[in-house]
Amino acid sequence: MSSTVNFSGDLLVILRHAPHGSSWLREGLDAALVAAAFGQSVSLLFQSDGVLALAKGQGVGPLGQKGTATTLDMLAMYDIESLYLDPEALERFGLGEQDLLLPAAALDAASLPRLIAGHRLVLTF
Amino acid sequence: MSSTVNFSGDLLVILRHAPHGSSWLREGLDAALVAAAFGQSVSLLFQSDGVLALAKGQGVGPLGQKGTATTLDMLAMYDIESLYLDPEALERFGLGEQDLLLPAAALDAASLPRLIAGHRLVLTF
Amino acid sequence: MRYGLLVKGAPYSSQASHSALRFAAALVARGHRLKCVFFYHDGVYNAARLAAPPQDEPHLYDAWRSLHDEHGTQLQVCIAAALRRALLDSREAERHGKSGHSVEPPFELTGLGQLIDLGREVDRLVTFAP
Amino acid sequence: MRYGLLVKGAPYSSQASHSALRFAAALVARGHRLKCVFFYHDGVYNAARLAAPPQDEPHLYDAWRSLHDEHGTQLQVCIAAALRRALLDSREAERHGKSGHSVEPPFELTGLGQLIDLGREVDRLVTFAP
Amino acid sequence: MILHILNRPPSSSLVYRDALAAMGAVDRLLLIEDGVLGALTAQVRHFQAIEGRLFALREDLSARGLEGQCDASVQVVDVDGFVTLTEEAGKTVSWF
Amino acid sequence: MILHILNRPPSSSLVYRDALAAMGAVDRLLLIEDGVLGALTAQVRHFQAIEGRLFALREDLSARGLEGQCDASVQVVDVDGFVTLTEEAGKTVSWF
């Protein structure tokens, strides 16, 4: 990740939970979408099990639970284009860029604290 | 732990959570007390962070939350006397027998599966 | 076989309720009997009668009721866990001087002793936790 | 300074509500202003009006109300998280065709936009999660 | 034979360690919900001590788009298979 | 300076790893609730990378009977100290 990238914004939402197992991911994405709709500049960081939110091929749950993959499609519509991920987490699951629904920038160790410092508000989910 | 110990009983309650941080520990102890009151033979296993349920010197929380130390005093009254703990978990926190409110038998690796196999019902908290 | 389920997760917040309902459907389809679902810890929130989930999500409250209606499964809620979480039936509401109630049949507030009985009466008790 | 709190844990199940109330008391005692507590995820259960905890435990619902009464702190509840968790005020109950309600003032059902506004308006937003 | 059921992944929670320690020589472990992350080839080493006795719930893998990444050593079962596992086990123990 | 707040112990949850990775060179970490288990001498090695910037909430230690086991390298603060930490920090980030 180039050190010239601008890591600043109004809100950083950190997504640490996998889809389907809990509502954390959906509730975090909802907060991001609402902030964007309110005109804030929003960044997303997919960290830990949260990187699985980006995995291709997600479907509905057995009771018809929607999951969050369809919500990801809405990010661009809301002008949320600063997407970051923890490359170690991705590797932990044996996933590569080609397995992802959306491109997200891999953050190196030095950039993560800068990303957090650069946003006025940081919410973790 | 002697291999001649009888690990059998009606209900084994496994307590894996520390006091105060959540209601798991209290709710697990409540289940054990009720089962004992119903005449069942009940064993308790303190595992992982649950070993801290046994720590001496626990107090109320800052809002007056009771915690669970007083509930432990009731175990003997309900004839719950089969108390076991995971010695690795105890060591993980630097605690020894002298730091505990109640004596609990340290289970070796081979005994833990036997304890679980020996009880008709196992509930984890 | 006779089964019982113990549900400890709040609806929607964790997958526990979904998993339990799914497992319940599969076991009755295979000819087993699901005697009772016991709700404890945050699982008691499954009994809240006013749930109004979005229409494109599963309606868990209604799904529990269907389980009861179609298969006679009892829906028992730990009363101690329920009261502190604002889940009161009419009787408890009156006893505590509250107007209105949040739990109604087929959900029943019962003591933990029912869970212990359930463990004795069924062949398998399966827990779904958050 | 102006503070806001975001509470995401259910009362009694996790320590989040206790910690938030304790922190709230300390910050107003130091002369700060606590503008609003926003409840999200399972934190919305803090707004359930029928809570009847044992008398030897802290009454968290009443403690939130006191915070409002004594310091003017707003108690805002995410409406989307609340509806699926059976937390409806009179208006939402009517809108969804339900008899009775589970949320009443000083708790208010509001949109997530209020959380975003809160983040803008206060100097510090502190989250208490389960 | 006892069926242990685990719904947390080793990538974020250490409860799998206690579940494994509790398992006897013929006991089985079923991964469900977020627990299925542990069935991925990149994660399954955490369960090598019970190879051949590790199961994962298909619909939880597929809802997450992970069925293709599930390790070949894991026995993938559908919900009927989950019921069968509980029939075959003398009892179940849930870890969370 | 950012105040990070952690309520899970390294003995059962790996979230501490992500919290540490997110911390800048002068950021501080406050352990609260079950997170204070990480402040014990036997556990504090997990936080050695931020020695001198690790805090723990006194009332959460003492409710658990653990104040005496808290490592000397940890700065123990009461709830007023918690408020002060939030005053001094530009913002807070909670990890759970």
| CB contact at 8 A, D130 and D9 | yes
pLDDT in tens, A39-97: 999 999 999 999 999 999 999 999 999 999 999 999 999 999 999 999 999 999 999 99
Terminal CA-CA length for chain C: 26
List the subunits that have 3+ CB pairs under 8 angstroms with E: A, B, C, F
* Residues B26-44, mean pLDDT to the nearest whole number: 98
* Residues E17-35, mean pLDDT to the nearest whole number: 98
pLDDT at E41: 98
- DSSP class of residue B107? P
Mutate to test the interface with F, among B93, B98, B125 (most CBs of F within 10 A): B93
Q: What is the DSSP string of B19-32?
A: TTTBSHHHHHHHHH
Residue F11, chain B, CB below 8 Å: the answer is: yes
Question: Helix A24-37 and helix D112-121: axis angle, to 10°?
Answer: 70
Name the burial class of residue A77, with classes exposed (0-12), middle (13-18) and buried (19+) by CB atoms within 10 angstroms of its CB. exposed
> Cβ separation of D14 and B23 shorter than 8 Å?
yes
- The span from the CA of B100 to the CA of C36, in Å, is 38
State phi, psi for C3 to the nearest 5 degrees: -115, 155
| Closest residue, chain C, to B22 (C-alpha) | C41
List Cβ neighbours of E71 (8 Å cut-off, separation of 6 or more).
Answer: E39, E40, E41, E44
- The span from the CA of B105 to the CA of B86, in Å, is 9
Residue D93, chain A, CB below 8 Å: the answer is: no
pLDDT at D40: 98
Name the burial class of residue A103, with classes exposed (0-12), middle (13-18) and buried (19+) by CB atoms within 10 angstroms of its CB. exposed
| Closest residue, chain F, to B62 (C-alpha) | F59
> Cβ separation of A22 and C130 shorter than 8 Å?
yes
> Cβ separation of E12 and F13 shorter than 8 Å?
yes
Name the burial class of residue A71, with classes exposed (0-12), middle (13-18) and buried (19+) by CB atoms within 10 angstroms of its CB. middle
pLDDT at A6: 74
* Per-position pLDDT tens, chain F of length 96: 999 999 999 999 999 999 999 999 999 999 999 999 999 999 999 999 999 999 999 999 999 999 999 999 999 999 999 999 999 999 999 999
Distance from CA of B66 to the nearest CA of D (A): 7
Q: Which residues of D are catalytic?
A: 78
ipTM of this complex: 0.97
| CB contact at 8 A, B15 and B122 | no
- DSSP class of residue A81? -
Q: Do chains F and B touch (3 or more CB pairs under 8 A)?
A: yes
In this structure, how many other beta carbons lie within 10 angstroms of the beta carbon of residue F41?
Answer: 14
Please check the confidence at residue A1 and state whether its pLDDT lies above 90: no
Could you tell me which CATH number the domain at B9-124 has? 3.40.1260.10
- Taking Cα atoms as reference points, which of F21, F3, F20, F1 lies closest to residue F94? F3
> Cβ separation of E91 and B121 shorter than 8 Å?
yes
Q: What CA–CA distances, in Å, run from D63 to B60, B109, D70? A: 17, 46, 10
Beta bridge partners of residue A15, listed in sequence order: A46
F11 to chain E: which residues are within 8 Å by CB? Answer: 14
Out of B22, B63, B66, the one facing D21 most closely (by C-beta) is: B63
> Cβ separation of A116 and F94 shorter than 8 Å?
no
pLDDT at A3: 47
**In whole angstroms, what separates CA B41 from the centre of its chain?**
14
F68 to chain B: which residues are within 8 Å by CB? Answer: 57
The token duo for C49 is 């009668």
- Taking Cα atoms as reference points, which of F41, F34, F45, F35 lies closest to residue F70? F41
The token duo for C52 is 């109004």
Out of F33, F59, F86, the one facing D126 most closely (by C-beta) is: F86
- The span from the CA of E35 to the CA of E50, in Å, is 16
Distance from CA of D94 to the nearest CA of B (A): 34
> Cβ separation of A62 and C15 shorter than 8 Å?
no
Which of C34, C37, C78, C79 is an active site residue? C78
- Taking Cα atoms as reference points, which of C104, C9, C108, C110 lies closest to residue C49? C104
State phi, psi for D113 to the nearest 5 degrees: -55, -30
Identify the three-state secondary structure at position D122.
Answer: coil
- pTM, two decimals, is 0.98
Residue C22, chain A, CB below 8 Å: the answer is: yes
F residues 62..81 contacting B (CB < 8 A): 62-69, 79
Q: What CA–CA distances, in Å, run from B1 to B4, B43, B84, B87, E20? A: 9, 15, 10, 11, 20
Residue D32, chain F, CB below 8 Å: the answer is: yes
Confidence of residue B5 (pLDDT cuts 50, 70, 90): low
pLDDT in tens, E63-96: 999 999 999 999 999 999 999 999 999 999 999 9
The structure tokens 């209606």 sit at: C69
What does the radius of gyration of chain C's CA atoms come to, in whole angstroms? Answer: 14
> Cβ separation of A30 and D119 shorter than 8 Å?
no
Q: Which helix (H) or strand (E) holds A26?
A: helix A24-37
- The span from the CA of A62 to the CA of A60, in Å, is 7
B63 to chain D: which residues are within 8 Å by CB? Answer: 18, 21-22, 58, 63
Q: Give buried/exposed letters for B11-35 (b at 16+ CB in 10 A, else e).
A: bbbbbbbbbbbbbbbbbbbbbbbbb
Q: Do chains B and A touch (3 or more CB pairs under 8 A)?
A: no
List the subunits that have 3+ CB pairs under 8 angstroms with C: A, B, D, E
Q: Do chains C and B touch (3 or more CB pairs under 8 A)?
A: yes
| CB contact at 8 A, E41 and A37 | no
> Cβ separation of C23 and E82 shorter than 8 Å?
yes
- The span from the CA of C62 to the CA of C66, in Å, is 6
Please check the confidence at residue A29 and state whether its pLDDT lies above 90: yes
> Cβ separation of A62 and E59 shorter than 8 Å?
yes
DSSP strands (E only) in B16-71: 42-46
What type of residue sits at position C122?
Answer: V
pLDDT in tens, B87-115: 999 999 999 999 999 999 999 999 999 99
- The span from the CA of B105 to the CA of B87, in Å, is 9
> Cβ separation of D50 and C11 shorter than 8 Å?
no
Out of C10, C41, C102, the one facing D50 most closely (by C-beta) is: C102
pLDDT at A5: 63
Q: How many domains does chain D have?
A: 1
| Closest residue, chain A, to F14 (C-alpha) | A48
Q: Do chains F and E touch (3 or more CB pairs under 8 A)?
A: yes
Put residue B67 in one of left, alpha, beta given phi > 0 → left and psi -120 to 50 → alpha.
Answer: left
Range of the domain at C51: 2-128
- The span from the CA of B38 to the CA of B62, in Å, is 34
| CB contact at 8 A, E31 and A18 | no
- The span from the CA of A20 to the CA of E78, in Å, is 17
pLDDT in tens, C62-113: 999 999 999 999 999 999 999 999 999 999 999 999 999 999 999 999 999 9
Domain boundaries, chain A: 9-124
- The span from the CA of D130 to the CA of F33, in Å, is 10
Side-chain half-sphere CA neighbours of A87 within 13 A: 10
Residue B96, chain E, CB below 8 Å: the answer is: no
Q: What CA–CA distances, in Å, run from B8 to B112, B121, D94, E7, F3? A: 12, 11, 55, 27, 49
| CB contact at 8 A, B8 and C92 | no
C36 is a catalytic site residue: no
Q: Does domain E2-95 have CATH number 3.40.1260.10?
A: yes
List chain D residues with pLDDT less than 50: none
What type of residue sits at position D56?
Answer: D
Task: Write the CATH number for D56.
Answer: 3.40.1260.10
- The span from the CA of D16 to the CA of F7, in Å, is 9
- The span from the CA of F16 to the CA of F20, in Å, is 6
pLDDT at D70: 98
> Cβ separation of A114 and F95 shorter than 8 Å?
no
- The span from the CA of E18 to the CA of E34, in Å, is 17
> Cβ separation of C129 and B120 shorter than 8 Å?
no
| CB contact at 8 A, D24 and D73 | yes
Please check the confidence at residue A2 and state whether its pLDDT lies above 80: no
Q: Give buried/exposed letters for B70-90 (b at 16+ CB in 10 A, else e).
A: ebbeebeeeebebbbbbbbbb
Distance from CA of D90 to the nearest CA of B (A): 31
